[in-house]
A = this chain, B = another copy of it.
C-alpha cells in the first residue's frame, strides 16, 4: 500500500497534535477501515515518547476517579494527557457513553486532555488491537502521558494493561474471598499496587495481604512493586502515586528486561492483529456472512457441529483464494 497524499496530510495533522485529526484516526483504527493499516504504518515509527500508564482492578475500586486525579496532576505539571478507556460493554448498553459523560464533568473541557472510550464493535473482536493502536496515535500526537483504563478485569483487559510502560492494579480494603484469585491473576502484571479508598476500615489487612503475596513472587526484572495508598476523591496520595510511576519508569530504563518486555508486547500485538486480519479475510468475502448465518442456524439446530462448520468456511475461503490467484488478483489485499 503506497502512502497517498491524503495520508501524508493526515499524519502531519496527527503529529501536530490536532485533536480532530487524532479523533478521526482513532475512529478509523476502531472500525478497522481499509486505510487504517496505511495510517498505522506511518504512526508507528513516531511513537515511544509518551509514557503509557495502564490501570486495572476490580469494579468498585474507584479506578475512574483515580485516573481523573492522576490526569489532573499531570496537567498541573503542564503535560498533555490522553485517556483511553476500554469498555467491554456493547454499544447498546451505553456503557462507554456513560463513562465519558461522568468523566467530562470532572476534567471539563480542558483541551490538554483527550478522552476516548473504546467499546466492543460487533463479533469480530479487535478491541485490544484497536486500543493499542489508539494509544500509539496519542503517543505520536505528542501526549506526554497516556493512561489506559479498563472497566472489566478479564483476559483481554490484562493483556492490554501489560502493553503499558507502567501497570497499576487498584484494589480496595476488604475485598473479600475472591481477592486471592484476583491477586494471583494480576500479580505478574502490576508494577505499582494502589490501595484506593484507603480511609476505609481494613486497609492494614489488605496491605499485609499484598505484602505477603509480593514476598512470595520474584519478578524477572527484580523490581519490588510498591504499594501506594490513595483516597482519590479527596485527592490524597496522587503525588506519591505519580512519583512511584516515575520511579518504575526510571528503573525500567536501566534494566535489560526492557527489550524482552517490548518484544513480548510486540509479539502479542502481531498475533492479535494477525488473528483479526485472518478472520476478516475469511468472513468479509461476498456471501460469507449469509453462509455464516446459515451455518450458525444449522449448529443451533444440532444438524451440524461447530468444527465441521469451520472446516467448511476455511475450505470455501481457500478455493476462493485459488480462483483469485488464478485470475491474477492480489490475495493479500485487505477488503
Residues of A within 8 A of B (CB): 37, 40-41, 44-45, 47-48, 58-65, 87-90, 92-95, 98-99, 102, 120, 123-125, 127, 150-158, 172, 175-182, 184-188, 197, 259, 262-271, 273-275, 277-279, 281-283, 292-293, 295-297, 299-302, 305-311, 313-315, 318, 321-322, 325, 331-332
A277 touches B310 (CB 8 A): yes
A278 touches B314 (CB 8 A): yes
The answer, among B175, B266, B295, for a CB contact under 8 Å with A296, is B266
- Using known A-B contacts A182-B151, A266-B306, A322-B325, determine if residue A314 contacts B296 with beta carbons closer than 8 Å: no
A267 touches B279 (CB 8 A): no
Tallying the copies of this chain within the complex gives 2
What residues of B have a CB within 8 angstroms of the CB of A264 in the complex? Answer: 296
What residues of B have a CB within 8 angstroms of the CB of A156 in the complex? Answer: 154-156
A178 touches B282 (CB 8 A): no
- Between-chain CB contacts (< 8 Å), 22 pairs: A37-B307, A47-B302, A58-B59, A58-B153, A59-B153, A60-B60, A62-B178, A87-B185, A89-B184, A90-B188, A98-B184, A99-B181, A152-B153, A263-B297, A263-B300, A271-B279, A273-B306, A274-B283, A274-B310, A274-B313, A318-B321, A318-B331
- Using known A-B contacts A127-B155, A266-B299, determine if residue A176 contacts B60 with beta carbons closer than 8 Å: yes
How far is B266's CA from A313's CA once the two chains are assembled, in angstroms? 14
